[in-house]
Amino acid sequence: MNEEALQRSYKRFGLTPDASLREVELAFHKLRKLYSDNSLATYSLLEDGDLPDRLNSLQAAYDMILQSRLYSQPASDQAFPERRQEDRRDQDSRIVVVDADPQQKPGLFLKQMREARNMSIHNVAERTKIGPHQLQCIEAQDFTALPAPVYLRGFLKEFCRAVKVQDPDQLVEAFMMLYSEAT
Amino acid sequence: MHLSADTDNQSNEPRVWAIGGGKGGVGKSVICTALAMSLARQGERCVVIDADLGGANLHTFLGMPNPRHTLSDLFRKKVDGLEDILLPTPYENLSLVSGTRAMLDMANLSYQQKMKMIRQIFALPADHIFLDLGAGSSYNVLDFFIAANDGLLVIMPTPTSIENAYHFLRAVYFRKLRKVMKRLGVDELVNSSLNEKVRGGIRTPQDLMADLKQRDPGVGNAIALEMEQFSPCLIVNQAQRNENSELADEIAMACRDFFGIEVKVSGVVRADERVLISLNSRRPVLDMFPNSPFAEDVQRIVRKMTPDTEAEHERRSTAAQL
């Protein structure tokens, strides 16, 4: 990925790469709204027919940031030996049983799995680099606030891995099915 | 980055503020006078310079009669320097340099005259100097705006004012870009491609920077670094309490995204009918209505923009109590 283009995307939102995903989302939606509402601040900037291009370029900047986070690897284990030990310790491999049906209510299933493993939303956010707000929307199956399917799929896999779902593919497919039905 | 006549004496150099904004009638002179009054009252030595060449009337805002000495005397070499036409005002710590009036030739200063005047401005014996610029985006206005330490953009919440402000911002940006390129000695190299690109559809500084970096990363990055220093301040004047509370932030957001220019929000000044009353009485608002919403808002802006001055005064008053 072009590092400079990524920097520029952050800059457009007035953010730096250490911003949380939530901050990125907020800035993106605010800016989008500013252009769409034809507000005092923006109306004279856009000529007739410029709006769709502008919104597309904003979306592209937002997508670029999401994508960069999706593929960013966690810091190498070698560099943080103590973390590695810790990780091993909480390799919580015990089998937990929750009552939500992963096919019918994958969001609730993820939430219960997370709780069964004594993890907060923020623990998961830290581990997955996915914004807490996005995670909450996944748990609540609030489809309106979720990113495009290509990213959503990646988010779901990360979430499953973080709370150690036994059969992640099945859950991801179930969730994506519900998502496409709803949108 | 500014021109300075006296580089080894920087601590005594005044802070120069330029007040522009493209549109006439948005309140540049009122804001300029009020900012200066507010700092003068704190004991800071302030000078307001009426740089609205050709349409000067700042003395009227201060309740002064037609000034005997003006910038015309300087440009016609009747006096040696700017200091010789410094006029006392009825207010303590506040002096005025009056502008030229109804002299169309003065609106066309030569570049040398302008640069000489800028050097003299930075050599004036004062703590703060406020340049009240005229409307429009002429080179005179742009060059003073660029030379100042703080460029303040005053707008009011109307489509026309905002449109002019964007036009002004773009004009300042490109003027500064030309200067930076000249200084780096790359104007010829970049000029041709620039012109071609401007015609071919590059409309914002952001597009331009991306293009420059692509053509020549070394030069592009050097220019970008200098241009990032360009960060004008924004004041929304005559704001309606509920409707315009977020306008300044929204404009800053739009400038960042659309132009790639970081605009700092200095503050919002509420619409206040006392401003008109004070204008008609030819007395500054801060003198006539020191506790008005207008005065409050201006003082808030001054506090935000001069945190050190504030701290210094606190230190002094604590010392006095002890």
User: Does residue A87 share a domain with residue A53?
Assistant: no
Q: Does the pLDDT at position A81 exceed 60?
A: no
User: Does residue A108 share a domain with residue A172?
Assistant: yes
Domain of A173, CATH number, reads 1.10.260.40
User: Does residue A67 share a domain with residue A82?
Assistant: no
Q: Which residue of A has its CA nearest to B214?
A: A4
Q: Which whole number is the average pLDDT over A24-35?
A: 91
- Which of the listed residues A71, A91, A116 is the one where a domain comes to its end? A71
Long-range pairs, A17-20, Cβ under 8 A, ≥24: A20/A131, A20/A132
User: Does residue A67 share a domain with residue A93?
Assistant: no
Q: Which whole number is the average pLDDT over B273-297?
A: 95
Q: What is the pLDDT of residues B91-149, one digit of tens each?
A: 999 999 998 665 555 566 788 888 999 999 999 999 999 999 988 888 888 999 999 99
What is the residue-averaged pLDDT of chain A?
Answer: 82
The pTM for the full model equals: 0.73
Q: Higher-confidence residue: B298 or B318? A: B298
User: Does residue A167 share a domain with residue A84?
Assistant: yes
Residue A91 pLDDT level (bands cut at 50, 70, 90): low
Q: Does the pLDDT at position B307 exceed 70?
A: yes
Supply the pLDDT for residue B103.
56
Cα–Cα distance, B119 to B303 (Å, whole number): 27
Q: Does the pLDDT at position A99 exceed 80?
A: yes
B253 chain-A contacts, CB cut-off 8 A: 14, 30-31, 34, 41
Least confident window among A75-79, B84-88, B290-294: A75-79
Supply the pLDDT for residue A71.
64
Q: What is the pLDDT of residues A49-60, one digit of tens each?
A: 788 888 888 999
Secondary structure in 3-state letters for A22-34 = HHHHHHHHHHHHH
Which of B5, B20, B227 lies closest to B142 in space, CA to CA? Answer: B20
Q: Which whole number is the average pLDDT over A155-162?
A: 90
Q: What percent of chain A has pLDDT over 90?
A: 28
Cα–Cα distance, A119 to A111 (Å, whole number): 10
> What's the gap in Å between the CA of B264 and the closest CA on chain A?
12
User: Does residue A13 share a domain with residue A92?
Assistant: no
Q: Does the pLDDT at position A121 exceed 80?
A: yes
Q: What is the pLDDT of residues B2-21, one digit of tens each?
A: 444 444 444 689 999 999 98
Cα–Cα distance, B51 to B130 (Å, whole number): 9
Residue A79 pLDDT level (bands cut at 50, 70, 90): very low
Supply the pLDDT for residue B165.
94
Q: Which whole number is the average pLDDT over B45-65?
A: 87
Least confident window among A81-95, A166-180, B101-115: A81-95
User: Does residue A62 share a domain with residue A87?
Assistant: no
User: Does residue A134 share a domain with residue A107?
Assistant: yes
Kind and range of the H or E element at B239? strand B233-239
For the CA atoms of A106, A109, A114, A117, what is the dihedral angle to 10 degrees? -140
- Which of the listed residues A20, A52, A71 is the one where a domain comes to its end? A71
- Interior angle at CA B132, CA B131 and CA B133, nearest 5: 100
Supply the pLDDT for residue B216.
80
Q: Which residue of B has its CA nearest to A27?
A: B253
Residue A87's domain comprises 78-182
What is the residue-averaged pLDDT of chain B?
Answer: 85
User: Does residue A85 share a domain with residue A59?
Assistant: no
How many independent structural domains does chain A possess?
A: 2
Chain B interface residues (partner A, CB cutoff 8 A): 157-159, 162-163, 166, 206, 210, 213, 247, 250-251, 253-254, 256-258, 260
User: Does residue A58 share a domain with residue A24?
Assistant: yes
User: Does residue A163 share a domain with residue A93?
Assistant: yes
Q: Would you report the helix, strand and coil content of chain B in percent, each value rounded to 5?
A: 55, 15, 30
- Which of the listed residues A56, A71, A86 is the one where a domain comes to its end? A71
Q: What is the pLDDT of residues A125-156, one digit of tens each?
A: 888 888 888 899 999 998 888 888 878 888 89
- The domains located in chain B, with CATH, are 12-304 (3.40.50.300)
Residue A22 pLDDT level (bands cut at 50, 70, 90): confident
Cα–Cα distance, A123 to A120 (Å, whole number): 5
User: Does residue A136 share a domain with residue A66?
Assistant: no
Question: How many residues are given for chain B?
Answer: 322
Q: What is the pLDDT of residues B167-177, one digit of tens each?
A: 999 899 989 98
Domain of A60, CATH number, reads 1.10.287
Q: What is the pLDDT of residues B198-233, one digit of tens each?
A: 555 556 777 777 777 877 888 888 888 888 889 999
Is B166 close to A44, i.e. CB distance below 8 A?
yes
Q: Who among B157, B206, B257 is closest to A40 (CB)?
A: B157
Q: Which residue of A has its CA nearest to B158?
A: A40
Residue A73 pLDDT level (bands cut at 50, 70, 90): very low
Supply the pLDDT for residue B270.
94
Q: Which residue of B has its CA nearest to A46?
A: B258
Cα–Cα distance, B234 to B238 (Å, whole number): 13
Q: Which whole number is the average pLDDT over B27-51?
A: 95
Supply the pLDDT for residue B101.
63
Strands (E) located in B41-117: 46-51, 86-88, 94-97
Q: Does the pLDDT at position A86 exceed 60?
A: no
Residue A70 pLDDT level (bands cut at 50, 70, 90): confident
Q: Which whole number is the average pLDDT over A22-31?
A: 91
Q: Does the pLDDT at position B281 exceed 90?
A: yes
Other CB atoms within 10 Å distance of the CB of residue A89: 8
Q: Which whole number is the average pLDDT over B298-310?
A: 90
